[in-house]
Amino acid sequence: MSEVPLETDVVVVGSGVSGLSAALEAAQGGASVTVFEKQPSIGGTSNFFEGIFAVGSAMQKEKYIAYSPDQAFKNFMEYNHWRVDARLVRSLINRSADTIDWLKTRGVEFLEVTINMPDAPRTYHVVKGRGQAVVKALALSAKEKGVAIRVASPVKQILRGKRGPSGVVVEFDGKDTEVACRVVVIASGGYANNAEWIKKYAGLELGRTVTPMGNIGKTGDGIRMAWEMGAAAEGMGVLHLIRVAPFSPEFPFMNTVEGAAIQPVLWVDPKGERFCDEGIAYYDTSLGNVNSRYPQGYTFCLFDDTIKKRFIEKGVFRGMGTVVPPGCKLHDLNEQLQHFLSLNSREFFGADSIEELALKMEVDSQVLKTTVQQYNTFCAQGRDAEFAKDPEYLIPLNGPRFYAAKARTCFLGTMGGVKINHRTEVVDQYGSPIAGLYAVGLDAGGLHAESYSMRDTSGIASAFAVISGRVAGENASKYLTG
């Protein structure tokens, strides 16, 4: 096992794309850099993302996509009601196109620029090989620039010098070791696995009313250490919420049945009543938000044989990543349904009547029958008198077989914690920067007011991770030489 360098200019806490981007830019500026990663392998949640936001990129220009940085900025600020840091948002948007080129230069390939929402601007630059390919490319470039990367080495404390950090305590090979440094970049990916904080700041119960996906060991270490250094808090309690149906370890990630279950047909709450315009199916944030209103942690998606036939023969309405593009015909849906039903899971059910389905879902059968009857009337009339859903999605449920998937409230990460300025410098409660301390990616607050903004800036979480990392690395090297 390699040794830990006992002295380095910059310590980066975490090896997701935010940390690796920071490391790379700081090294590019001439600093000696060490990245410490808590887990035995690098990349964290960043291994999973699929698309990165950018506006004004070469790919968009080639396709004549007329969406300007000004428009993206205005839309983003409007969505967040200006309860975010406008300078931070502007710098993120302004640097997004250049960041696609920056990633390309480091070997990242892009497949297309697209969007899964009907009326949203095409900002989602799909990466070949998902985030894992970006992590690999950045780690390789960082190593070429002399960056030391150490895995299985959690940073536990930042040591305080006269002006900002003087070092960190890192656990390496079972021992606590002090590493001297002048700059610390906090890039530890938030607190998605910290049940106490999720309860305290988001009011949700981890594993019961909300379940994290793609996050391991995220206890908010970086946020805690920044606070201990005098940082102000910003953005605690904002989760990147989504709704997943069916969700359980026995079902593979993004499967055909999920592709069918997430469609805007008929959804009911744990009582068996409709609760929203299912047309919001395209907008993950709205889905996660509406689902999180239910303390049970779930709602249901219903469909029947007629709807199933439509998905097989004509295709689905809403896509699911690049796995199930919009209009995709779910050829293997019958086989997958049979397989899922044979698991006798409590997350996905099939029945020959609404009464039987209600029994399996543990909802009042009379309530569910009334809901389905009323919904079928809306379908016959071509008008959703309850939630004004687009008539295109009004397809009645007549059987003979009925299906229900439990739709769980899940989240892809927490989005905030440490207050920063647009240079990614960590600031105290008076807005004064703490010298030598930076926070990036999911540890940084100021970008999301209360919900993840995805409609007009799809892919902004990964873009923010890379861009905030780059900005931190650049400013760190200026700080060291200044």
Ligand X SMILES: Cc1cc2nc3c(=O)[nH]c(=O)nc-3n(C[C@H](O)[C@H](O)[C@H](O)COP(=O)(O)OP(=O)(O)OC[C@H]3O[C@@H](n4cnc5c(N)ncnc54)[C@H](O)[C@@H]3O)c2cc1C
Task: Enumerate binding residues for ligand X (CB under 6 A).
Answer: 13-19, 36-39, 44-46, 48-51, 131, 154-155, 187-189, 213-214, 217-218, 221, 412-413, 441-442, 459-462, 465
In the bound state with ligand X, the residue whose beta carbon lies nearer, of 167 and 272, is: 167
In the bound state with ligand X, the residue whose beta carbon lies nearer, of 397 and 465, is: 465
What does the alpha-carbon distance between residue 167 and residue 181 come to, in Å, rounded to a whole number?
A: 5
In the bound state with ligand X, the residue whose beta carbon lies nearer, of 190 and 272, is: 190
Burial of 430 (0-12, 13-18, 19+ CB in 10 A): exposed
Question: Least CB distance from residue 350 to ligand X, whole Å?
Answer: 27
Question: Least CB distance from residue 319 to ligand X, whole Å?
Answer: 13
Question: Least CB distance from residue 221 to ligand X, whole Å?
Answer: 3
Q: Where are the beta strands (DSSP E) in 297-401?
A: 298-304, 348-351
Q: Where are the beta strands (DSSP E) in 318-427?
A: 348-351, 402-414, 417-418, 425-427
Question: Least CB distance from residue 134 to ligand X, whole Å?
Answer: 9
What does the alpha-carbon distance between residue 387 and residue 219 come to, in Å, rounded to a whole number?
A: 39
In the bound state with ligand X, the residue whose beta carbon lies nearer, of 44 and 167, is: 44
User: What 3-state class would DSSP assign to 308?
Assistant: helix
Q: What DSSP element (H or E) covers 171?
A: strand 165-172
In the bound state with ligand X, the residue whose beta carbon lies nearer, of 115 and 261, is: 115
In the bound state with ligand X, the residue whose beta carbon lies nearer, of 37 and 384, is: 37
Question: CA 230, 89, 474 angle in degrees (round to 5)?
Answer: 65
In the bound state with ligand X, the residue whose beta carbon lies nearer, of 39 and 376, is: 39
Question: Least CB distance from residue 375 to ligand X, whole Å?
Answer: 32
In the bound state with ligand X, the residue whose beta carbon lies nearer, of 153 and 371, is: 153
Question: Least CB distance from residue 363 to ligand X, whole Å?
Answer: 29
Which 3-state string (H, E, C) describes 212-242?
Answer: ECCCCCCCCHHHHHHHHCCCCEECCCCEEEE
In the bound state with ligand X, the residue whose beta carbon lies nearer, of 36 and 340, is: 36
Strand ordering across the sheet containing 425-427: 148-150, 33-36, 10-13, 183-186, 433-439, 425-427
- Residue 382 Cα distances to 261, 376, 393, angstroms: 22, 10, 10
Question: Least CB distance from residue 159 to ligand X, whole Å?
Answer: 14
Question: Least CB distance from residue 198 to ligand X, whole Å?
Answer: 15
In the bound state with ligand X, the residue whose beta carbon lies nearer, of 38 and 182, is: 38
Structure token pair of residue 275: 């609760």
User: Is 357 in contact with 295 (CB distance < 8 Å)?
Assistant: no
Exposed e or buried b per residue across 212-238, where buried means at least 16 C-beta atoms within 10 angstroms of its C-beta: bbbbeebbbbbbbbbbebebbbbbbbb
Question: Least CB distance from residue 172 to ligand X, whole Å?
Answer: 11
In the bound state with ligand X, the residue whose beta carbon lies nearer, of 416 and 441, is: 441
What does the alpha-carbon distance between residue 90 and residue 209 come to, in Å, rounded to a whole number?
A: 35
Burial of 311 (0-12, 13-18, 19+ CB in 10 A): buried
Question: Least CB distance from residue 416 to ligand X, whole Å?
Answer: 11
Name residues whose C-beta falls within 8 Å of residue 236's C-beta, 6 or more positions apart in sequence: 197, 201, 416, 417, 445
Cis peptide before 264 (omega within 30 of 0): no
Dihedrals phi, psi of 40, to nearest 5 degrees: -70, -15
Give the residue carrying structure tokens 């948007």.
93
Name residues whose C-beta falls within 8 Å of residue 338's C-beta, 6 or more positions apart in sequence: none
- Which residues lie across from 180 on neighbouring strands? 7, 167
Question: Least CB distance from residue 383 to ligand X, whole Å?
Answer: 35
Question: Least CB distance from residue 411 to ligand X, whole Å?
Answer: 8
In the bound state with ligand X, the residue whose beta carbon lies nearer, of 211 and 336, is: 211
